[in-house]
Structure 1
Amino acid sequence: MNKVLDEHFVPWFRAVAPYIHAYHGQTFVVGIVGELIAAGRLTAFVQDLAILHAMGIKIVLVHGFRPQVNEQLAAKGHPAVFSQGRRVTDPIALDCAQEAAGQLRFEIEAAFSQGLPNTPMANSTVRIISGNFVTARPYGIIDGVNFMHSGAVRKVDSASIRAIIDGGAMVLLSPFGFSPTGEAFNLVMEELATQVAIGLKADKLLFMTEIDGIHESPLDPDSPIDTELTVADAERLLARLPRPEQPTDLSFYLTHCVQACRAGVERSHILPFAFDGALLKEVFTHDGIGTMIVDEKLESLREASSDDVGGILKIIEPLEQRGALVKRDRADIERDIALYTVIEHDGIIFGCAALYPYPEARTGEMAALTVADHVQGQGDGERILRRIEQRARAQGLESIFVLTTQTMHWFIKRGFQLVDPEWLPEARKRKYNRERRSQVLVKRLGSPGEAWR
């Protein structure tokens, strides 16, 4: 194996392992727009789905077909008509939709059957099952527009879908539903995927879309992507945005994501299909790539408990090996666990620090400040520092200090000042290891920039 690749493989695999464990046995509903298939990205995407399936994730795939239906209509010289963001499906459009759905279903099933060597599909067997799992009703006449064969979801046969995915197969749904009298209705893929996720009480609803996600400044496409939105924040944003008229409108996918979360789906995601591997990056990395909507923020900064000892040991071990931290064994951390602050995301600890108070000197030592390698540079170290400062003030301390051998400049940039080790409280001075020659830096918890004398 290439040496550089080898050096990165183990840390990478350790970083994703908690997610693999957490998602095993969970249910994901994945909605893909027809544009993904039209762009020639189906094969790579199916391989990513096969990886999730191999890891024990239960998957329902719902495909769209807007561009394919439009292409069929254009070939027949028939206009594509939309109103309020929904296709008006006359008899000709219905024929085109049925033809497009049949072709796409064939392509998707063929992609899952490739089993090509040297790909994620090698030696894999992914069974795809489709069926009449959706009952629909006519959308009707809205604001004077007769939507004809366009429909809305009336009922999803969640029990049958659940039995299939629990049995190890994957379910594939086209955006069609049928009435009790056998009429076919063209459905909006996003609405269907949302209702399926709600009916299954899915753990995730993921949309592979034409857009990158929701930007921090929604009307500025150059602003960063907001990787996590609470449902409440999403609803406030929707209240400011116009009613969606087409899928590329910001509020289109956001509306469905909020609906799913409000109905019990734990998390919903808006991902760009144009980014190769977007599905894997979103599922198996800390910040993902698109926007995730959750009922509550997954990131938590809190005081540690005894359940966190293992997680703390795991993230400080690499720094101990590099000599950046003094070695601490499990007994030490278990004894001092109440002194620790941790930051976690989705139940996984990726940062910590401890505050050892010296009340007689009205100061405290911040020790073991650590942020996992794969999430550094995102401001988590500063968030932990601010929480330690808050804890110190609450205990009536006037300053905090650190001992460091490798990160002096990081602390100086955040208001610490270098002092002689003789400054240390007597109790800490007796434990100072002069062979390590750790630098001592102090930060007064009063006004910024106040100098030490």
Structure 2
Amino acid sequence: MSTVFNFTFVPWFRSVAPYIHMHRGKTFVVGVVGEAIAAGKLASIATDLALIQSMGVKLVLVHGFRPQINEQLATKGHQPRYSHGQRITDEVALDCAQEAAGQLRFEIEAAFSQGLPNTPMAGATVRVISGNFITARPLGIIDGVDFKSTGVVRKVDVAGIRRSLDSGALVLLSPFGFSPTGEAFNLAMEEVATSVAVALQADKLLFLTETPGLRMHPGEPESDDNPIDTEVPLAEARAMLARLPKPERPTDDSFYLRHCVDACEHGVERSHILPYARDGALLLEVYVHDGIGTMVVDEKLESLREADADDVGGILQLIEPFEKDGTLVKRSRTDIERDIGNYTVLEHDGVIFACAALYPYPDAGTAEMAALTVSPQSQGQGDGEKVLKRVEQRARLMGLTSIFVLTTRTMHWFIKRGFQPVDPDWLPDARKRKYNWDRRSQVLVKEL
């Protein structure tokens, strides 16, 4: 049993390592709906956040409290009132919000204080700091509706939050703000999280919500033909918002999407919508390539470019499994460092997922494309074709009229993309002298 565990654990741990390195020192703002806490998910969420913080991420946690306020209102025989998708916070509702926030802060701080042996929190030290970091103003009267003590964010104490984060603490924010005259205002968790993420210019804004994310066809029922759309460019998200009706409830498709778009339009490059019902949702979204929810992104995550010295390690990690199984000829670190200028890489979210090298033979008007490799995580998504087209472009710019490859296992892939088999005698003399006749690689050529 332990052998099987080791066999699966080691490659898995290696696969998440690039994301651990990439996120170290970054700032994430996490908005958790009150429904997640009411559903008993607080302990597991706290465990995952403690784990993320232990890997060097600075965290701001904003909690919601919709169901908790409604529960307090019910005990006082008071009905919750909403308009325009916002709570109307009268005196009774404000009292209930303050009671709910106090209780939730107590529960959250307790969750981060647990440290029982043989649990994920063993040895974890998470210091939680909360305070009056949000200045607010009244929402006012909209279409004749007085929202009373419902407010909107006016200012975020960025310096204060950063000092707390730099001290190694997790910053906990309740959806409350205070005016310069000392009035308290009930705020929407989603607006607080978005405003804080924008003010901090956070690297990620993550909403842990009632919804699993956005489907490929919003508004249509869940099905195999309508899966979760894991990555939505900002322009597409804007267009989606324009088509969707204005949200009234948190379960509406556009409810969290509009906050993600707002954050991305104001400098937060990645915003996420995740289901709290999925155990480990935060870990799966942050440390796994495709994630499980919807990410709205304000940059082209994919970068197709020529390699530089910083890419040597990533290229080695990518091609090593294929060298071991004989698909590729083994190349040493020294070889790759020497030839790094010949490589083209496809980088996705800071991780190299495909590469190829181009070795020109100008006297023969051709070049060899070697070490074309695509990560198993992204095979079938067209990454190999993208790298091939970039390599062809590089060859044309050199004034070459063809490119060739030597392969023992992937000849059909190349033939489908316009390569033709030729005899090894076709090779340029300099390459022919290095041809390994024992390996019996097939030579394929593509005219440019």
Selected match of 2:391 from 388, 391, 409: 388
Query: Any idea what SS the aligned residue of 2:122 has?
Result: coil
Kept in 2, the 8 Å contact 1:419–1:441? The answer is: yes
Q: What is residue 286 of structure 1 aligned with on the other side?
A: 289
Query: Any idea what SS the aligned residue of 1:152 has?
Result: strand
CA drift of 1:372 comes to: 2.6
Q: What is residue 198 of structure 1 aligned with on the other side?
A: 198
Distance 1:225 1:315 in 2: 28
* Residue 115 of structure 1 pairs with residue 118 of structure 2: no
CA drift of 1:395 comes to: 4.9
Q: What is residue 141 of structure 1 aligned with on the other side?
A: 141
C-alpha distance 68-297 of structure 1, shift in aligned 2 (>3 A): same
CA drift of 1:196 comes to: 1.4
Selected match of 2:330 from 324, 327, 330: 327
Query: Any idea what SS the aligned residue of 2:115 has?
Result: coil
CA drift of 1:124 comes to: 1.3
- 359-368 or 210-219, larger mean C-alpha shift: 359-368
Query: Considering only aligned residues, what root-mean-square deviation do their CA atoms show, in Å?
Result: 2.4
C-alpha distance 305-169 of structure 1, shift in aligned 2 (>3 A): closer
Q: What is residue 79 of structure 1 aligned with on the other side?
A: 79
Kept in 1, the 8 Å contact 2:89–2:147? The answer is: yes
Amino acid paired to 1:100: A
CA drift of 1:413 comes to: 5.0
Q: What is residue 344 of structure 1 aligned with on the other side?
A: 347
* Residue 296 of structure 1 pairs with residue 299 of structure 2: yes
* Residue 356 of structure 1 pairs with residue 359 of structure 2: yes
Q: What is residue 253 of structure 2 aligned with on the other side?
A: 250
Distance 1:443 1:76 in 2: 78
Superposed CA deviations along residues 388-439 of structure 1, whole A, max 9, x for unmatched, are 3444455565554322233344445555455543444444333220111223
Q: How does 1:310-321 map to 2 (within 5 A)?
A: 310-321=313-324
Distance 2:228 2:447 in 1: 36
Distance 1:344 1:226 in 2: 21
Q: How does 1:180-195 map to 2 (within 5 A)?
A: 180-195=180-195
Q: What is residue 437 of structure 1 aligned with on the other side?
A: 440
Q: What is residue 38 of structure 1 aligned with on the other side?
A: 38
Number of residues paired by the alignment? Answer: 445
Query: Any idea what SS the aligned residue of 2:92 has?
Result: helix
CA drift of 1:8 comes to: 2.6
Gapped regions of structure 1 (runs ≥ 5)? 446-453
Distance 1:416 1:75 in 2: 75
Kept in 1, the 8 Å contact 2:207–2:272? The answer is: yes
TM-score w.r.t. length of structure 1: 0.90
Distance 1:90 1:410 in 2: 67
Superposed CA deviations along residues 208-264 of structure 1, whole A, max 9, x for unmatched, are 112222333334444233333333332233233222222222222222222223323
Amino acid paired to 2:384: G
* Residue 212 of structure 1 pairs with residue 220 of structure 2: no
Amino acid paired to 1:2: S
Distance 1:442 1:39 in 2: 61
Amino acid paired to 1:189: M
Q: What is residue 428 of structure 1 aligned with on the other side?
A: 431
Kept in 2, the 8 Å contact 1:94–1:149? The answer is: yes
Kept in 2, the 8 Å contact 1:312–1:352? The answer is: yes
Calculate percent identity across the aligned residue pairs: 71
CA drift of 1:96 comes to: 2.2
Amino acid paired to 1:111: A
Superposed CA deviations along residues 124-174 of structure 1, whole A, max 9, x for unmatched, are 121212222222211110011111111111222222222222112211111
Amino acid paired to 2:327: A
Amino acid paired to 2:213: G
Query: Any idea what SS the aligned residue of 1:61 has?
Result: strand
Distance 1:18 1:200 in 2: 24
Query: Any idea what SS the aligned residue of 1:28 has?
Result: strand
